[in-house]
């Protein structure tokens, strides 16, 4: 994490703003009425853009970190759409057992890693990551092993790997396909093998759906994805985005109202360089039927060549002063307190400011700070340890005092001090280190 406020503002925030000024961004923006263009810009600026580098590096680290916690070998599978039982009514079709619909290799040790569909999307990227990990350590990490290979290698765990959990439907179906295998169920029930879902990101609702699955999988994600209507901005701005998605969703998809705010009204705020999830509002991506007149910011959920350059190599914290303004902490934003804090002090103040305004969800805090799930949990635990917030993420009297003191910073001392000076850390931080 950088120590300079100027550097903090320079990367993620500016790149997100540049999205509108790409060739594709201009085509998209010009479709909005003049009085709605600022709202459209707000929507685009609210997106978290995930580059190939950011995605691959952190998903690989997540797999390795989880795998290294286990003694034995791990079976890795790329989550994908699976075939369903066509003998049942369309509204009640369930997936077929996994090992009954895959093709085994000539030696019987592996199965095909990709579906037969021409639109393989993220599954091909995830499969390639799995292949590389398996090559680097073929004993520990098994690349789409067959059921016989799982038994012969005495695998400790199954890792179902995906890029994003939106509604949770696809991953849930993938689990169901394994759950229909009596041998796999027996191994899971007897604790001979564990089931893990490893994904770069996911929505709160999607993750909850997986955790409620009867197989009780362990779900590990790198970054939260807050819904657009849960972002750390004013309620008025959230409503503006919501209304914009409805108004222009009708133009983009007409009667397909279930997509105006994204699939199952997910309102997801994250876009990958390798593709835009359909859980994001429909006006961001071109509808996938012929003769469509709407031009998506990410046409047919793909990233246009003109927009790839605005995806940052890594996700960092946005402008903290702007964040404070967005959540209504105007006095704190104007105080200059953030300029007089080290990086940890800045993050603590932002967390306290968000929680004081009722923004207690980890996904909102993660979005505002740019922190991963792991780092966000660490920061929150420290705030609890320092008695700034309670275990239920409510601000304490001590936290209120810290905020009040920060708001008075400029009035007490107008001298300019180097950024990160320890003198300007919160009093409680002086004797504590992260």
pLDDT (tens digit per residue) in 235-292 = 889 999 999 999 999 888 877 777 899 998 999 999 999 999 999 999 999 775 556 6
Which CATH code for domain 52-224? 3.40.50
Rounded Cα–Cα distance for residues 318 and 8 (Å) = 6
Between CA 189 and CA 122, with CA 131 as vertex, the angle to 5 degrees is 85
pLDDT (tens digit per residue) in 67-86 = 999 999 999 999 998 988 77
Quick one: residue 63, left, alpha or beta (phi over 0 = left, psi -120 to 50 = alpha)?
Answer: alpha
Q: Where are the beta strands (DSSP E) in 180-308?
A: 194-202, 218-224, 270-272
Please tell me the predicted confidence (pLDDT) of residue 315: 86
CB 38 within 8 A of CB 320: no
β-pair type (157-165, 218-224): unpaired
Residue 420 has pLDDT above 70, yes or no: no
Share of residues in the chain with pLDDT > 70 (%): 87
Please tell me the predicted confidence (pLDDT) of residue 155: 93
CB 215 within 8 A of CB 188: yes
Structure tokens at 195: 């089931």
Kindly tell me the burial class for residue 74, based on how many C-beta atoms sit within 10 Å of its own C-beta (0-12, 13-18, 19 or more): buried
Rounded Cα–Cα distance for residues 311 and 8 (Å) = 16
Q: Where are the alpha helices (DSSP H) in 254-369?
A: 320-326, 330-335, 343-356, 362-369
Centre a 10 Å sphere on the Cβ of residue 56 and count the other Cβ atoms it contains: 17
Please tell me the predicted confidence (pLDDT) of residue 91: 65
Distances 112 to 62, 185, 360, 376 between C-alpha atoms, Å: 23, 22, 43, 37
Threshold 0.85, pTM exceeds? yes
Rounded Cα–Cα distance for residues 79 and 199 (Å) = 10
Domain boundaries of the chain, sorted by first residue:
5-46+231-310, 52-224, 320-428
């Amino acid at each position: 994490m950088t120590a300079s406020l100027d550097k903090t503002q320079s990367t993620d925030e500016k790149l997100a703003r540049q999205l509108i000024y790409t060739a594709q961004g201009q085509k998209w923006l010009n479709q909005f009425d003049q009085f709605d263009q600022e709202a459209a810009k707000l929507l685009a600026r609210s997106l978290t853009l995930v580059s190939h580098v950011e995605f691959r590096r952190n998903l690989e680290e997540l797999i390795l970190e989880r795998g290294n916690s286990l003694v034995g070998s791990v079976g890795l599978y790329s989550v994908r759409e699976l075939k369903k039982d066509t003998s049942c009514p369309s509204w009640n079709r369930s997936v077929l057992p996994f090992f009954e619909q895959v093709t085994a290799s000539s030696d019987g040790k592996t199965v095909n890693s990709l579906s037969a569909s021409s639109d393989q999307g993220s599954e091909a990227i995830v499969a390639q990551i799995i292949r590389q990990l398996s090559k680097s350590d073929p004993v520990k990490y098994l690349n789409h092993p067959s059921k016989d290979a799982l038994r012969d290698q005495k695998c400790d765990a199954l890792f179902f790997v995906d890029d994003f959990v939106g509604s949770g439907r696809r991953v849930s179906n993938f689990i169901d396909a394994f759950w229909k295998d009596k041998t796999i169920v027996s191994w899971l029930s007897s604790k001979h093998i564990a089931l893990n879902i490893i994904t770069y990101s996911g929505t709160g609702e999607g993750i909850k759906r997986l955790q409620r699955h009867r197989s009780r999988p362990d779900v590990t994600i790198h970054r939260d994805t807050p819904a657009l209507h849960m972002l750390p901005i004013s309620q008025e701005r959230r409503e503006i985005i919501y209304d914009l998605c409805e108004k222009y969703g009708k133009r983009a998809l007409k009667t397909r109202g279930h997509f105006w705010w994204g699939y199952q009204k997910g309102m997801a705020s994250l876009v990958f360089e390798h593709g835009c999830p359909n859980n994001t509002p429909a006006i961001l991506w071109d509808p996938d039927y012929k003769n469509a007149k709407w031009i998506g910011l990410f046409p047919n959920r793909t990233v246009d060549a003109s927009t790839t350059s605005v995806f940052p190599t890594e996700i960092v914290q946005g402008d903290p002063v702007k964040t404070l303004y967005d959540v209504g902490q105007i006095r704190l934003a104007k105080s200059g307190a953030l300029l007089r804090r080290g990086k940890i002090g800045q993050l603590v103040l932002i967390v306290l400011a968000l929680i004081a305004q009722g923004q207690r969800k980890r996904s909102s805090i993660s979005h505002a700070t740019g922190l991963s799930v792991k780092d966000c949990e660490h920061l929150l635990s420290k705030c609890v340890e320092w008695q700034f917030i309670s275990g239920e993420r409510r601000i304490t009297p001590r936290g209120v005092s810290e905020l009040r003191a920060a708001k008075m910073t400029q009035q007490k001392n107008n001298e300019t001090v180097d950024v990160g000076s320890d003198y300007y850390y919160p009093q409680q931080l002086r004797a504590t280190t992260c």
